[in-house]
Structure 1
Amino acid sequence: MALITGETNLFFPLIILSLLYLIISKLITPKSKRHPPLPPGPSPWPIFGNIFQLGKSLPHIALANLAQVHGPLMMLKLGARPLIVGSSPAAAREILKTHDQALSGRAVANSLQVKGSKFHNLSLGFFDECDDPWKRVRSVYKGEFFSSKILDAQTEVRENKIMGLVKYLGSKEGQAVKIKEKVIFTAMNILSHAILSRDLVDFEGKGMGEGLMENIRKFAELGGTPQWADMYPILRGWDLLCLYKKLMDVFVKACAVWVDLVKERRKSTNDPTAKRDFTKALVESGFSDDQINALLMELFSAGVESTSATTEWTLSELLRNPKVMQKLRKELAKEITGDTIKESDLSRLPYLQACLKETLRLHPPGPLLLPHRATKTCEVMGYTIPKDSIVMVNMWAIARDPKIWDNPLKFMPERFLSSELDYKGTDFEYIPFGSGRRFCTGQPLATWVLPLIIASLIHHFDWALPGDMDPAQINMSDKLDVTMLKEEPLCVIPKLRRQFIN
């Protein structure tokens, strides 16, 4: 996303360099064997390519509109860099399955891969290729954080944290609250308990983790700032905006939250009585402090924002669709016999699961997934994909395609009740967690936490909007950072239902 979001910072002196680059590249490029044609696409402007056709903040929508004209596999230019976009299930299958090996590189922003970087090739999101070090990190994630055994051991913690959210909201009965903000604090503590064996914040955001998410957002914003070096490889290695220093300042502030705890885990390596959490597992696996910092930053960044945003989108859709809300309440009333909802109850709540699937269809946290990179030239759907092209799948466009979905813009959970579509990344018309080598490792945890939060909010509360606002008037516009967020935060007023017990 670093190459197509944010303001385009263009510098007139570099236009001359760009012209020279284009001229030289034409002169030195040798003639080669005939290849299939490049994918179709809009005509690029000199120097700048198609960057002005992507819009400032909603590239998933701009790319979907362009695909209507140029087809399901198209090519644009970001300066001199090819951008390949797939916008159909067939194109997604080719990119994420058939040619997954050749197209599973990562397009890492220049500001993150300067010499001596504390981020580059340390966490899953910033590995250039799916090589042995990448496989090692992924293996530790799967074995020490997202395995069934580890997740089962954390069940009670997750249930308690979510019940803590319910009780806090109960104390705010009749008051307007920004629901996303409170879910952020809950998600932070669910993760921090598994990672660091302690809570980071209370429901007012106070505690040792105060300011962590603000720093993570600043890091994402800086990392997403476009640079000429991202669009013109000849300038690679030049940090003209001094972004790396700014990134490091924010990174150090974020990592200060857990630096002392990492030191404690190193000291207790040989202590069999010491509590074992994910940080200790990383220490025992031989990871350096730099890599542990990068991995923890990645986990909090990816896990917290997507959980809170999806909860906010779901509650918004339920308020706007009272018949769906009523049907979900009936299911909960029928299946939940106790005063609280347990993870063991979730398998008996198919309509709840359908509501979550429908939210992820309409409002996927990563509408374009994270950008891939072609590690070698290959042929896809009869077109040549040049080496080092940026490759994206417009999951947002696929999930709203009327050729695939009936009434695609309507929130209709019923469409999933008789469907076998799931989250595993094998059905390319529905891939909210991606697919292939770069499939989201956090999917198993997300599909436990999200339905439990949503069910608890609906089971324990009636919800109203400030000023007796009509739910149909809720602004459903989105904005895209790394995660797709509601442009206007959802403010709601909780009213306790009789099921709640203090």
Structure 2
Amino acid sequence: MLLRLCELRVVVASSADAAREIMKTQDLMFASRPMTPTGKFLLGDSPGLVLAPYGKAWRQLRRICTLELFTSRRVRSFRPVREEEVGRLLRSLSMQSSSQVNLSELIGAYVADSAVRAVIGSRFKGRDAFLRMLERRMNLVPAQCLPDLFPSSRLALLVSLMPRRVKRERREMMDFIGTILQDQEQQESSKDGAVAEDEDFLHVLRRIQKEGKLDPPLTDEDIKTVIVDIFMASSETSSTVMQWAMAELMRNPRVMRKAQEEVRRVLNGKNEVVEESLGGLRYLDLVIKEALRLHAPATLLLPRECRRPCQVLGFDVPVGAMVLVNAWAICRDPAHWEQPEEFWPERFEDGAVDFKGTNFEYIPFGAGRRMCPGMAFGLANIELALASLLYHFDWELPDGTEPEKLDMTELLRITTRRRSDLLLIPTIRVPLPAKI
């Protein structure tokens, strides 16, 4: 469908065939991102990776992600970080065993701390302030304010308060990241230039910058923006998927029993969950896939822009139109999914459908040139933590709430969160080791 939102033209694709046209057949035609007035203020001269228009600078950053940041080896190198942060999560839960806990908050803290340590190598004292900045930025990104709806109007730009707010948020964020860069540079100089075998993302970007082989060169502002992109994408999506997965397990006791039976059978006799032991958890993988189907982190994926007039399934798409791929509708389309509203992990048992960008009825991470490059990084955080939660604890809903009464209302932003926090009662089933 074509929507006209004031001056803004928005094309919405809600079928697998339309998605295939946009993200495969004519992928290059739709490989760019629309740059609204708000987006220009938010990103400045360094659009980064996620929201950058298609071009040489974006292709260069994408290549860095593929060959340096999100390789299998580097994702594996962060295994000790993930295992340590899962340990912190489990200790916090064990201290509140048999009491009501806000699992949404605990999961959010675990994912955020894991992302912080992977990106900059250590925790930092301003972590809470930084996470509040990220939260405000998340609220700004999807906003369609007056200047965005009337991009040709100077009056709309003058009367709107949004540009000033966005500029202030950007300045605070860039100053904050700049301080982190300075601290890390001082630490490097004190180590006489020694290079760690397993670099965090910030070290990788700084190393590539110092090599000076890029055209255009990688600036400090580029690094700051990419760091913010990685923080937002990795922490927000992983936290959202984990919360929905646990909510669906609580709402479907049969699936919960089956998942826990598998985890406890495969890990029987172990006192903790480590990543090496996750290979045998076949059903847990299906649970994660089904959670991604019903609750794709980005309901409408991220917007694309039509670069030249073209046709999709015989319909004209005007140049400059914002193009949204409705992953929520496609992943629930009864033409491709039996009982699409039901949480049924067994539908993925035959392995015929996967989320790697070739099955367009199932696109939680998108497809084509703009597909999420950090998919493996995010899934690693989800798998280890979810397996640990199911192995060590039994779970109940508070106040005798029936599973079918659990609130599953969605809150639509750039990602689709739960409207209400997930409040549960954990009871220790497998004791935690003393060292964890």
TM-score (norm 1): 0.79
Change (3 A) 1:408 1:155: same
The answer to whether 1:311 aligns with 2:242 is yes
CA positional deviation for 1:483? 0.9
Contact 1:120 1:126 in 2 (8 A): no
Counterpart in 1 of 2:28? 101
Change (3 A) 1:248 1:347: same
Equivalences for residues 167-182 of structure 1 within 5 A: 167-182=91-106
Counterpart in 2 of 1:63? none
Q: Aligned to 1:455, which of 382, 387, 397?
A: 387
Q: Which deviations, in whole Å up to 9, do the C-alpha atoms of 1:156-176 show, x marking residues without a partner?
A: 221221122112211111222
Change (3 A) 1:271 1:175: same
Alignment partners' CA distance in 2, 1:320 and 1:250: 39
Q: Which deviations, in whole Å up to 9, do the C-alpha atoms of 1:325-346 show, x marking residues without a partner?
A: 1111111122114222222222
Alignment partners' CA distance in 2, 1:177 and 1:500: 18
Equivalences for residues 50-129 of structure 1 within 5 A: 74-114=1-41, 118-119=43-44, 121-129=46-54
RCO higher in 1 or 2 (8 Å CA, sep ≥ 6)? 2
Counterpart in 1 of 2:223? 292
Alignment partners' CA distance in 1, 2:152 and 2:178: 37
Alignment partners' CA distance in 2, 1:155 and 1:401: 37
Alignment partners' CA distance in 1, 2:142 and 2:355: 27
Change (3 A) 1:258 1:93: same
Alignment partners' CA distance in 2, 1:186 and 1:425: 28
Alignment partners' CA distance in 2, 1:468 and 1:257: 45
Alignment partners' CA distance in 2, 1:119 and 1:462: 48
Alignment partners' CA distance in 2, 1:465 and 1:256: 43
CA positional deviation for 1:441? 1.1
The DSSP-based 3-state class of the residue aligned with 2:23 is helix
CA positional deviation for 1:499? 4.4
Contact 1:109 1:223 in 2 (8 A): no
Counterpart in 2 of 1:341? 273
Which has the higher mean CA deviation after the structures are superposed, 221-230 or 386-395? 221-230
For structure 2, the residue ranges without an aligned partner over 5 or more in a row are 210-217
Alignment partners' CA distance in 1, 2:281 and 2:430: 20
Alignment partners' CA distance in 2, 1:219 and 1:300: 11
CA positional deviation for 1:299? 1.3
Counterpart in 2 of 1:380? 312
The DSSP-based 3-state class of the residue aligned with 1:224 is coil
Contact 2:37 2:151 in 1 (8 A): no
The DSSP-based 3-state class of the residue aligned with 2:316 is strand
- Which letter maps to 1:367? T
Q: Aligned to 2:166, which of 224, 247, 257?
A: 247
Alignment partners' CA distance in 1, 2:145 and 2:126: 34
Counterpart in 1 of 2:178? 259
Alignment partners' CA distance in 2, 1:239 and 1:344: 57
CA positional deviation for 1:361? 0.5
Whose Rg is larger? 1
Which has the higher mean CA deviation after the structures are superposed, 437-446 or 218-227? 218-227
Counterpart in 2 of 1:395? 327
Alignment partners' CA distance in 2, 1:222 and 1:348: 41
The size of the alignment, in residue pairs, is: 420
CA positional deviation for 1:274? 4.7
CA positional deviation for 1:112? 2.2
CA positional deviation for 1:239? 5.5
> Which has a greater percent of helix?
2
Alignment partners' CA distance in 1, 2:175 and 2:402: 44
Q: Which deviations, in whole Å up to 9, do the C-alpha atoms of 1:165-206 show, x marking residues without a partner?
A: 112211111222211211111111211112111124xxxxxx
Q: Which deviations, in whole Å up to 9, do the C-alpha atoms of 1:211-230 show, x marking residues without a partner?
A: 32222121222333323332
Counterpart in 2 of 1:361? 293
Q: Which deviations, in whole Å up to 9, do the C-alpha atoms of 1:268-305 show, x marking residues without a partner?
A: 37943254422122222223222222112111111112
Q: Which deviations, in whole Å up to 9, do the C-alpha atoms of 1:30-84 show, x marking residues without a partner?
A: xxxxxxxxxxxxxxxxxxxxxxxxxxxxxxxxxxxxxxxxxxxx21211133211
Which has the higher mean CA deviation after the structures are superposed, 486-495 or 246-255? 246-255
Alignment partners' CA distance in 2, 1:136 and 1:294: 14
Identity %: 29
Change (3 A) 1:239 1:327: farther
Contact 1:112 1:120 in 2 (8 A): no
Equivalences for residues 134-283 of structure 1 within 5 A: 134-200=58-124, 207-235=125-153, 238=157, 240-267=159-186, 268=188, 271-275=192-196, 276-283=199-206
Q: Which deviations, in whole Å up to 9, do the C-alpha atoms of 1:376-424 show, x marking residues without a partner?
A: 1112211211100011111100111112111111100010112321121
Once superposed, what is the RMSD of the aligned Cα atoms?
Answer: 2.0
Contact 1:112 1:244 in 2 (8 A): no
- Which letter maps to 1:103? F
TM-score (norm 2): 0.91
Equivalences for residues 488-499 of structure 1 within 5 A: 488-499=420-431
CA positional deviation for 1:152? 1.7
Contact 1:110 1:227 in 2 (8 A): no
The DSSP-based 3-state class of the residue aligned with 1:495 is strand
The DSSP-based 3-state class of the residue aligned with 1:101 is helix
For structure 1, the residue ranges without an aligned partner over 5 or more in a row are 1-73, 201-206
Alignment partners' CA distance in 1, 2:4 and 2:177: 41
Alignment partners' CA distance in 2, 1:413 and 1:311: 15
The DSSP-based 3-state class of the residue aligned with 2:12 is strand
The DSSP-based 3-state class of the residue aligned with 1:106 is coil
Contact 1:464 1:492 in 2 (8 A): yes
CA positional deviation for 1:104? 1.3
- Which letter maps to 1:99? Q
Contact 1:307 1:450 in 2 (8 A): yes
Alignment partners' CA distance in 2, 1:111 and 1:389: 17
